[in-house]
Structure 1
Amino acid sequence: MIVKLPPAGLLIPCFKPEVKGTWPEVVSEDIPKLKAALRECDNQIEDYLKWRAKHEQPERETP
């Protein structure tokens, strides 16, 4: 059995912005930072899932 692993640089920890916790700061500063971090992390996962799907497809021989 051969197991392919994703390249090391593909799976990296997601950025976790600091949450300050007071309501005006949460609304005006923290929430946009959290949304951006979530979006970036989601993009990493989507890239990995696309890579995995591409490599999990059975290879077909051409006649």
Structure 2
Amino acid sequence: MSEPLRFRKSSYSSGTGQNCAEVADLPAGAALRDSKHPDRGHLSFPLTEWRAFLADVKRDLL
């Protein structure tokens, strides 16, 4: 049986914890879920796609 994923919220999340996305590390990528509905599952991304997504987000923050 596999170990459950350990999801965490972004440090940019609001103090109330609402409207957050949570991320968990995967052996070869990342998993993303809605913190308001964790029971609805998650989306998994391969490492190359996850890195491309993070690069785009960081570029938009500049």
TM over 0.5: no
RCO greater where, 1 or 2, for CA within 8 Å and sep 6 or more? Answer: 1
TM-score, normalised to structure 2's length? 0.33
Considering fraction of residues, name the structure with more strand: 2
TM-score, normalised to structure 1's length? 0.33
Considering fraction of residues, name the structure with more helix: 1
Answer with 1 or 2: which has the greater Rg. 1
